[in-house]
Structure formats: structure tokens, C-alpha cells
Chains A and B, each alone.
Chain A
Amino acid sequence: MTRSVVRLDGATLFELLTVASLFLVALFGTLIAYQAYRGYRRNDARSMLYLAVGLLLLTLCPFVVNVAVTTLLKPEQIVIAFLENLSRLFGLVAITYSLYGQH
């Protein structure tokens, strides 16, 4: 069973850059999701709530899932990729619902 797990103390430059860029994705995504959530609270617009949830599932969640699952369970990489994409899929579904749903 091959697994390409990066330990932060013995990582190559590109592995670190990848982790850093994913972290930045999570950071910016969370920032925009936060503004969307404030928009929901201030304007009572439910579509902004779904947008906020969608953005979190799209950006923050894959990062958290990756770190958590890799640290705790150490599964195969394909499993993590699947979980990440599942989270992104739900995120896009939430944003689609935010745009087209009746609420």
C-alpha cells in the first residue's frame, strides 16, 4: 500500500507550498464566507446563508478534512481525495441552491 503522506518536519519545498496554498484557500474562503454570513444576518437573506455554507464546504472543509482524516486515520490518499471532493461537491450544491432555490 503506497501512501504519500507529508510529515511537516520532513517535507519538500513543493509539499510545503501545496499545504500553504491550501491553507490560504481555506483562509480566503472563510473570509468571504464570513462576509456572506454577515450579509445573511444583516439583511435576513437566506441565500447568503447557503452561499456561506457552500463557500466553507468548498474551501475550509477539504483542508480540515484532509488534516483531520490524515492525522487520525491515515487512510489511502484516494480516500482523502474522495472526501475532499465530496465536500466540494456539497459546497457547489449549496451555492447552486443559493442561486436557484426557492427560499
Chain B
Amino acid sequence: MTYAVAADNSVFSFREIGLLFIGIPKRTAIPVSEDTDLSTLLAVLDDEYARDILTHTSVEPMSASTLSERCDASLPTIYRRLDRLEECHLVTEETELAQDGNHYSVYRANLDRLELSLDEGAFSVELTYRDEDVADKFTRMWEGMR
């Protein structure tokens, strides 16, 4: 096997940008006030179906119709809860390819820990999200750049 040594191989920047993406820390703690306030969060969690969705999807990602069966609720009910959970980033949506070639969405619980503390005159809430897949994070950041 032979190989010609070229003088220039100067295009490295995109590889380095990529490495930045991969080196991102895995757990992210976000103060709730940023995009979800405490009352919204508690209202979302004060719902049996919403909590059912979280417990079921914490085991494995599920489609809305599977959730509808497992939680014994109608599909519109499930979608309404999923929307509210997604707004608070408590579940994440992923697209999977079915065997017939169609795309469908599965949902995964994204909540790791909810910490509510009362400290001289103010509540502070901290949400810790679960590990997010590098590919999903990469996608989110790239889409955010567009």
C-alpha cells in the first residue's frame, strides 16, 4: 500500500468544534426559573396521568399509543399531558423508524431529581435532568445554531 504525503492538511476546525460537543458534561442542573416557573411545574406534576407517563417512560421510551394502553387513558389525554411535560422538559421526544418505513415518536422521561428548598424568604427549585444522549444534544445544539 502506498500513500502520498500531502503538504497541507489544514482543515481541522470542524473536528475541534465536534470535540467540544462530545465533551459536554452529562447531567445538567437548571434553575427552574429560567423557562419553567414553580407553579407551572407543580401543576404539571399534580396529575396522576402525568406522573404515570413519567414512571412508565422512565423504564423505557414509549409511543403515545403504548402509553395510552399502559396508563388506561385516551390518546388525546396522553398527548395533552405529554405536551405539558415536554414544555417543562420533563420528557423528551425521539423519532424512531418503524419497520414499515414510517416515523413515529417515542417519549422518554427526562426528570432525574426535583429539589425544592426554602431558604430565608424564598423558595428555590432545582431540576436535574437525566443523561441525555450525545447525539440528541449534538442535534439540539446544531439546530440551535441554524
Contacts and interface: CB of A to CB of B under 8 A. Distances in A.
25 contacts: A4-B4, A5-B4, A6-B3, A8-B1, A21-B9, A29-B14, A32-B18, A35-B22, A35-B135, A35-B138, A36-B135, A39-B138, A41-B95, A42-B136, A48-B142, A51-B142, A55-B18, A62-B9, A66-B3, A67-B1, A70-B2, A77-B4, A81-B8, A92-B11, A98-B146
Interface of A: 3-8, 15, 18-19, 21-22, 25, 28-29, 31-32, 35-36, 38-45, 47-48, 51, 54-55, 58-59, 62, 66-67, 70-71, 74, 77, 80-81, 84, 88, 92, 95, 98-100
Contacts of B14: 29, 54-55, 58, 95
A32 B139 contact: no
Contacts of A51: 142
Contact of A44 (B1, B4, B6, B95): B95
Given A45-B142, A55-B14, 8 more contacts: A5-B2, A5-B3, A35-B18, A48-B142, A54-B14, A66-B3, A77-B4, A100-B146
